[in-house]
Amino acid sequence: MTGDAGAGETKAIVDRKRAVDRGAPELEAGRVGRPHGLDGSFYVTGPRPRLLALGTSVSVAGRTVAIVRRAGTDRRPIVRLQGVDDRPAAEALRGQALSVEQREAPALGEGEFWAHELEGLEVVDGDRLLGTVRRLIELPSCEALEVVGEGGGEPLLLPMVKDAIRLIDPSRGRVEVNLDFLAPAEEPRRPRQGPGQEGSS
């Protein structure tokens, strides 16, 4: 729902936020990846592109600094931080989380939420409780909610598309879904023919 509308309506539901704050003072923008070049720039792994704009203040390794360079793509962003001026300095931060205070994050559209706001929500189909959202994961074609039942077992993956998700309401702590959308249509079963029987033309 990390994002824009996409693969139909996937990203439009993903990075969602209303006025409700579910108690996350900081949002993870990604992690410091391998250095890029000699000037202290580095790739960001697991990025949330909206949080990596030029000039944004990010916390890393116990300090808060500004993004002074933003290059690359949304899928493979390259950034440089204030005070990180060479390759060894970037290498020293490798693996560290980059986080942004939620109040500093860009405003999202009506009906949008940040991914962390979906975690822990109850998932229902009508009156049937399916479980709770463990996390948001990225699939090859879209993003999906990983839903775990109270009894454990194999988690259910719900694609973040309009046909599968009827409603997301963090204020009520629930996600309403349409399981019929996920059920594959069954092939009509044909009666078996007995010995000596042939199909009619």
Name 131's bridge partners: 123
Q: What is the pLDDT of residues 8-44, one digit of tens each?
A: 343 433 444 333 344 456 888 999 999 999 999 999 9
Angle among Cα 78, 21, 155 to the nearest 5 degrees reads 75
**Comparison of pLDDT for 143 and 175, the residue scoring more:** 175
Superfamily of domain 19-104: RimM (2.40.30.60)
Whether the predicted pLDDT of 89 surpasses 80 = yes
pLDDT band at 114 (very low <50, low <70, confident <90, very high): confident
pLDDT at position 125: 92
pLDDT at position 29: 92
Rounded CA-CA distance 14/142 in Å is 10
pLDDT at position 154: 84
77 and 41 Cβ atoms separated by less than 8 Å: no
2-11, 58-67, 92-101, 169-178: lowest mean pLDDT where?
2-11
pLDDT band at 109 (very low <50, low <70, confident <90, very high): low
pLDDT band at 180 (very low <50, low <70, confident <90, very high): confident
Query: CA separation (Å) from 50 to 4, 12, 34, 130?
Result: 9, 13, 21, 31
Local structure of 165: helix, strand or coil:
strand
The domain segmentation of the chain, as residue ranges, is: 19-104, 113-182
Question: Could you tell me the fold of the domain covering 113-182?
Answer: SH3 type barrels. (2.30.30)
